[in-house]
Structure 1
Amino acid sequence: MKKLFIILLMLPLFTQAQNKDYRIYAVAKQQEITVSQLVSELKQADVIFFGEEHQDSIAHLLELALLKGLHQQQPKVTLSMEMFQTDVQPILNEYLQDLISEKNMIQEARAWSNYKDYSPLVAYAKKQGIPILAANAPSRYTNRVTRLGLQSLSQLSEDAKAWLAPLPIDTLTGAYYEKFVSLLGGHSSLGSFQLYQSQNLWDATMAWQLATHKKLQQQQQILHINGKFHSDERLGTYLQLQRYAPQYKLQTISCMPVEAYPPPAWQQWQSIADYIILTQSATID
């Protein structure tokens, strides 16, 4: 109850700079900015990546504030979410069209266990008629790749392949691979490479969904929400989308919780994202 009360008090503050619960930095300009300034600066972007830590409560509130701002600025906007898998798109659409209950949608669309953190985004999109893109690859196929490698996808039916990025999938060897191996502790093996292949299936499928939707809906600006590993350093899903659709203007946001605000690290941040958001979610009990 205390947490809800604090969050409600915070909502009017999302347009103010120097908010104690978050800070937004425009890296190229080397300036701290407000949410409203961020919305304005993103006006010309085709696809906006919001990279989050999935348990960051302030990030979820900022995502909602950003979606509202983008929608008010440009009504033709789409919300894309890692949190839903491509094969549940029909179910998600039925919920958005008010054909099924939220309870059924949560169960049958395999919503994440912390769906309550994302439900305000979905509720706003539903109320405003904003499309939601179920962007993630079905876990049964990423699991298959982890066990058997990318080549095993060739045995799937054409109907099954339709839920995934087209084969073959680029495994983005180089910086992204080194980053992934480092995350695993620096130990490369056949098992870790197949896990890396499944990561690329994940990334490529999200990117393919973005590219396909944007091609069909040229006027739609897309806000895509994913874990920050998928888009930080303009790798992963970001780089896959560049390969599928190099003509689109992409902007990246990397949001991360911190215990205390450090001095801006402009040079380091340049390689991470166009906008850095620091939050103090851990300070809210």
Structure 2
Amino acid sequence: MKRLLALLILASSAMAAHAQTPDSLAGSVAVTSRDGHAVTLGDIVNAAADADVVFLGEIHDDSLGHVVQLHILRALHERYGGARGVVLGMEMFETDVQGVLDEYASGVIREQDMTAASRPWPNYARDYRPLVEFSITNGIPVVGTNAPKRYVSLVSREGSVDALDALSPEARATMPAPVAPPSELLATKFTALMGDMGSHGAIPGMPSVDGMLAAQNLRDATMAQAMVDAMAQAGEQPLAVHVNGSFHSAGGLGIPEHVRRLASQARILVVTMAPASGAVPEMGTDDFVVLTGAQ
């Protein structure tokens, strides 16, 4: 009861800060379908009927986007949770802290102990805690999907996933083995992005573009493996919802590609969210684009 009360208070505060409630979000977001039509958040929920994995790609500091995520997660649970069950995967937690998340979800440890041990992101309390608390309150498994940062850093510095061979079997088990390479499309997109940012690996002490791409791909592959494993454990045809930075799933590249390698029949729905005041995501490549703060 205390956890539920805390969740309600936090969710109310977050929505009040934006003068929003789930019922009025349509007035502050603009949703566009792949074919360019203006639609609603409800259309995203309807489309999930034909999906196995729903990717909610975000800009990490877009607080209104996180309110939208909670609204979508709640709606998906209400619509599909009874018949299929829902699983929440989060880039914001790494695979090696799954035991901590499970202990918290089962009530064995306190929230303060969970946050001390699970290395949550700085904006966890404001932006991600509502998702976690809603999930736990409603029996939705919360899965940490990201590769441990220390190993991502190792691959970035060394320039190859071969660097993981030096790890112990226990450490190696936190990531897929082998790690499938990135697609040519993803590699091209990533290299162009790094070039636009002026990152060419020429700065002393900085990883090369190849190293950064290998690290990015390790994250993508690990998040995909964690979600596919969680779905297998969740019963028959669960609906998996995955929250991640938009680059990891936009255009169906990155994590979705690895999911398809692992589960070729998986039906994937990609939603990309971003503030309307920033760089607008490319239209026509994702199933839905949600612009927050739209008027």
Q: TM-score, normalised by structure 1?
A: 0.88
Q: State the partner residue of 1:164.
A: 175
2:249–2:255 Cα contact (<8 Å) kept: yes
1:82 to 91, 96, 99: 91
- Partner deviation per Cα, 1:49-86 (whole Å, 9 max, x = no partner): 11000001111011100111110111100111000000
How far apart, CA to CA, are the structure 1 residues paired with 2:57 and 2:182? 19
- Partner deviation per Cα, 1:132-187 (whole Å, 9 max, x = no partner): 111000011101101122111112111111100112x2222422112112222255
How far apart, CA to CA, are the structure 1 residues paired with 2:102 and 2:48? 27
CA RMSD of aligned residues (A): 2.3
2:53 to 29, 47, 53: 47
How far apart, CA to CA, are the structure 2 residues paired with 1:260 and 1:199? 23
1:261–1:278 Cα contact (<8 Å) kept: no
Q: State the partner residue of 2:273.
A: 255
Report the secondary structure of 1:185's partner residue: helix
Q: Does 1:137 align with 2:150?
A: no
Deviation at 1:259, TM superposition (A): 2.2
Question: Which of 228-237 and 208-217 deviates more?
Answer: 208-217
Deviation at 1:6, TM superposition (A): 4.2
Q: State the partner residue of 2:291.
A: 278
Q: State the partner residue of 1:121.
A: 131
How far apart, CA to CA, are the structure 2 residues paired with 1:279 and 1:240? 28
List runs of 5+ in structure 1 lacking aligned partners: none
Deviation at 1:26, TM superposition (A): 1.8
2:161–2:214 Cα contact (<8 Å) kept: yes
2:15–2:21 Cα contact (<8 Å) kept: no
Q: Does 1:224 align with 2:258?
A: no
Aligned residues: 271
- Partner deviation per Cα, 1:240-275 (whole Å, 9 max, x = no partner): 11111111100100111122998xx9xx5222x100
1:27 to 7, 31, 34: 34
1:82–1:134 Cα contact (<8 Å) kept: yes
How far apart, CA to CA, are the structure 1 residues paired with 2:56 and 2:117? 26
How far apart, CA to CA, are the structure 1 residues paired with 2:261 and 2:55? 16
Report the secondary structure of 1:270's partner residue: coil
Q: State the partner residue of 2:189.
A: 179
Counterparts of residues 52-131 of structure 1 (less than 5 Å) = 52-75=58-81, 76-116=85-125, 117-131=127-141
Deviation at 1:87, TM superposition (A): 0.5
Q: State the partner residue of 2:6.
A: none
Q: State the partner residue of 1:5.
A: 16
Q: State the partner residue of 1:36.
A: 42
List runs of 5+ in structure 2 lacking aligned partners: 1-11, 202-206
Deviation at 1:44, TM superposition (A): 1.9
* CA pair 250-173 structure 1, distance change in 2 beyond 3 A: closer
Paired amino acid for 2:244: N
Paired amino acid for 1:98: G
Q: State the partner residue of 2:3.
A: none
Q: State the partner residue of 1:212.
A: 229
How far apart, CA to CA, are the structure 2 residues paired with 1:98 and 1:2? 25
2:62–2:275 Cα contact (<8 Å) kept: yes
1:147–1:194 Cα contact (<8 Å) kept: yes
* CA pair 212-261 structure 1, distance change in 2 beyond 3 A: closer
Percent of residue pairs bearing the same amino acid type: 31
How far apart, CA to CA, are the structure 2 residues paired with 1:101 and 1:230? 31
How far apart, CA to CA, are the structure 1 residues paired with 2:63 and 2:182? 31
